[in-house]
Amino acid sequence: MRSPHRTDDPSDRTGDISISAESAEPPQGLVRVSDLPPGVLRDIALVWLADAVVGVSFGAIAVGGGLPVWVPVLMSLLVYAGSAQFSAVGILTAGGGPVAAAATGLLLNSRTAAFSLALADDLGRSWAARLIGAHLVTDETAAFVLAQRGREQRRAAFWISGVGLFVAWNLSVLAGALAGSALGDTDRFGLDAAFPAVLLALVLPALRSDRRARRAAAAGAVIAVVAAPLLPAGVPVLLALLGLLAARRPRPASSRSTS
């Protein structure tokens, strides 16, 4: 005689297991190139190339200005911020002190705080992933991530572009520093325009599909253009963040009347 308190048959429990597995969030493993949409890896590689060209220029300019090779190399590893590094080296080679160079670099690089807030969920959940990822946040990685829609696509875009940019930048800075001032300033070839052009191409899809993004971009551009002749370099970029206020959703009339 079978017991009335029999256990469930394993076949009866498969449905419950599959449901719980589907409702559970999948674990975050290693990123894969296949997670990127078609064409994104090509765009990332182009940014790596542009980053490497500018890195060679930075290393050559720093050493050509009288700094030892280890200064641009160590700065690239620890600071890893192109605009901040260029401004700091410019101040040092012009005779300025390290305090003024560091303060200018911090001011220019403070914009990445806003990027970090936008990308926090795409770095990972562990403290190690967020610590390393925070060091890799740049204008380029933020642009690649924000251009993606799915979580796995955004995560893959961040880590693949971020790690590749870090390696390309540091190797090219080392090469430029070793070459010294023989290469001269590559800005004379117009290569400094590569980054704005690439970033504009990356944000165009968002501008086409999101009206609030267009409002914010237009407002930020107007603020930066008006402030550029009046304020030191880097400050207009920070003020342009005020353009984000134009992207705020207006409060419904009903909620305004009841408050």
**Rg of the chain taking only CA atoms, in angstroms:** 24
On whether the CB atoms of residues 37 and 148 are closer than 8 A, the answer is yes
The pLDDT value given to residue 188: 62
Return the SS3 of 1: coil
| Neighbour-count burial of 9, counting CB atoms closer than 10 A to its CB (0-12 exposed, 13-18 middle, 19+ buried) | exposed
Contact between 169 and 82 under an 8 Å Cβ cutoff? The reply is yes
pLDDT for the residue 73: 92
Return the residue matching tokens 């504009």: 200
pLDDT along the chain (259 residues), means of 10: 46 41 43 80 90 85 84 90 79 74 74 74 78 86 85 88 93 89 58 57 72 84 86 68 71 51
What is the CB-side half-sphere exposure of residue 120 using CA atoms within 13 A?
Answer: 6
The answer to whether residues 53 and 191 touch, using CB atoms and an 8 Å cutoff, is: yes
- Residue in the structure block whose two tokens are 């500018």: 54
